Amino acid sequence: MTIAHDDIRVAGEVAPVATLSMAAALNLALADAIEADTAVVVFGEDVGALGGVFRITDGLTARFGEDRCFDTPLAESGIVGTAVGMAMNGMRPVVELQFDAFALPAFEQIVSHVAKMGNRTRGVVRMPLVIRIPFGGGIGGVEHHCDSSEAYYAHTPGLTVISPSTPQDAYSMLRAAIASPDPVIFLEPKKLYWTKGEVDTSIVAEIGTARVAREGTDVTLLAYAASVPLALEAAEVASAEGRSVQVIDIRSLSPFDDATVTAAVRATGRAVVIAEAPGYSSVASEIQARVFERCFEYLEAPVRRVTGFDTPFAPPKLEHWYLPDVDRVLDAIDSLHWEDES
């Protein structure tokens, strides 16, 4: 399925600071990375002439040629396995897997090789490759097009797993991912592809760090990807109701920024984790467990989580019931044993 979209075609025509959609910021990051390092190659299904079903690679083949951005046969294990070999031989592959569920055919290559090659060879062969995966719901996609599979990757030792929630982070984190000597699963919240924001191309992101997206003193919301704007919206509503809500954009799912998160929750004493994926054995449960363990003495109430249900992702017409929304987040906040209440 391709998805309706605005064209991007910004590659190479943007000033150092500009207002861009997340999609355009990603496109620019790819273009700048290709230009900066001859080892960088972008490939996958439909990333060439079409520019990707979400147009993230729009214009790259035209501008840089088939050697730098090209289509492959339709086989995800093939794409990732080939990328492993290219990374072994001096290239920095940046591959696109078209939708989250279509990364699954590559799972063995990702877990058994991408994640382990560096360890296996005692660091002699590193895997400087990036696997870009559009993920998450909110676009009314049919089955297999809206999953959030970050837990599979975050649970796998050796993988760096990151996801931006702003155009700025989309740009800076993708550049950082491409520059990293380690393999990065780069999860793109497709719901946010068309949200705009300022992008300063000189900002360098540090993988492994969380970002305080909003200051607040009563409760900390811990979110990533499309759940960050949701958390911010909930924080806004809650603040109108008199609660000061802090929002932290986790953005680096693995490794995890314990320092920032622990300090934040110790300060507020209350926390809610928000994520779209099914909650069971998830990144959200990990965050919840870590925060519980590290902030136990500081907690006024149990850490709560608001996640997708433990069901297959909903069909488009039921999606709004499935996804975490502002009400559900506010309910969770309300449940945190406030002294001003009963």
Partner 1 sequence: MQHEDMLPRSTVTQLIDAHGTVVEDEQYALPSVEALLAAYRGLVDARRINDQASALVRQGRLAVYPSSHGQEACQIGAALALSPDDWLFPTYRDSVAVIARGVAPAEAMVLLQGGWHSGYDVRRHRVAPQATPLATQLLHAVGFAYAAKQRGEDTVVMALCGDGATSEGDFHEALNFAAVFRVPVVFFVQNNGFAISVPLSRQTAAPSLAHKAIGYGMPGRRVDGNDVAAVLAVLGEAVALARSGGGPSLIEAHTYRMQAHTNADDDTRYRERSEVEEWAARDPLARLRTHLTATGALTDAREEEFAAGAEEIASAMREALAVDAEVDPEDLFRFVTATRSPQLDEQWRLLRGEIDRTRTEDPAQQQIHGGSR
Ligand X SMILES: Cc1ncc(C[n+]2csc(CCOP(=O)(O)OP(=O)(O)O)c2C)c(N)n1
Which of 42-50, 243-251, 291-299, 323-331 is the region at the interface with its own copies (rule: CB under 8 A)? 291-299
Residue from 212, 280, 320, 327 touching its own copies (CB under 8 A): that is 280
Residue from 74, 203, 212, 267 touching ligand X (CB under 6 A): that is 74
DSSP 196-212: EEEEETT----TT--EE
User: How far apart, in whole angstroms, are the C-alpha atoms of residue 72 and residue 74?
Assistant: 6
Tell me if 223 sits within 8 A of 275, measured CB to CB.
Answer: yes
- Give 98 or 288: the residue with its C-beta nearer to ligand X: 98
Q: Which one of partner 1, its own copies, ligand X, none is in contact with 84 (Cβ closer than 5 to 8 A by kind)? A: partner 1
Active site residue 145: yes
Q: Which of 145, 155, 320, 337 is catalytic?
A: 145
- Give 215 or 310: the residue with its C-beta nearer to partner 1: 310
Angle between helices 258-268 and 283-295 (to 10 degrees): 60
Tell me if 22 sits within 8 A of 164, measured CB to CB.
Answer: yes
**Separation in Å, CA 43 to CA 1, 65, 92, 208, 248:** 19, 12, 11, 26, 33
- Give 45 or 276: the residue with its C-beta nearer to ligand X: 45
**Residue 137: Cβ-neighbour burial (10 angstroms; 0-12, 13-18, 19+):** buried
Cβ within 8 Å of residue 131, ≥6 positions away = 80, 83, 95, 97, 103, 106, 110, 114, 183, 184, 185, 186
User: How far apart, in whole angstroms, are the C-alpha atoms of residue 257 and residue 183?
Assistant: 18
Residue from 35, 37, 63, 105 touching partner 1 (CB under 8 A): that is 105
Helix (H) or strand (E) holding 35: helix 22-36
Which of 22-30, 83-91, 170-178, 189-197 is the region at the interface with partner 1 (rule: CB under 8 A)? 83-91
Q: Which of residues 82-121 bind ligand X (CB under 6 A)?
A: 98, 102, 105
Q: Which one of partner 1, its own copies, ligand X, none is in contact with 281 (Cβ closer than 5 to 8 A by kind)? A: its own copies
For position 236 contacting partner 1 by CB under 8 A, the verdict is no
Cβ within 8 Å of residue 49, ≥6 positions away = 61, 71
User: How far apart, in whole angstroms, are the C-alpha atoms of residue 25 and residue 14?
Assistant: 10
- Give the x/- contact pattern for its own copies in 140-179, rule: CB under 8 A: ---xx------xx-xxxxx---------------------
- Give 109 or 168: the residue with its C-beta nearer to partner 1: 109
Radius of gyration of the chain (CA): 20
- Give 48 or 134: the residue with its C-beta nearer to its own copies: 134
State the catalytic residues. 145
Applying CB under 8 A, the residues found at the interface with its own copies are 77, 101, 104-105, 107-108, 111-112, 115-116, 119-120, 143-144, 151-152, 154-158, 254, 256, 277-278, 280-283, 285-286, 288-290, 292-293, 296, 299, 301-305, 309-312
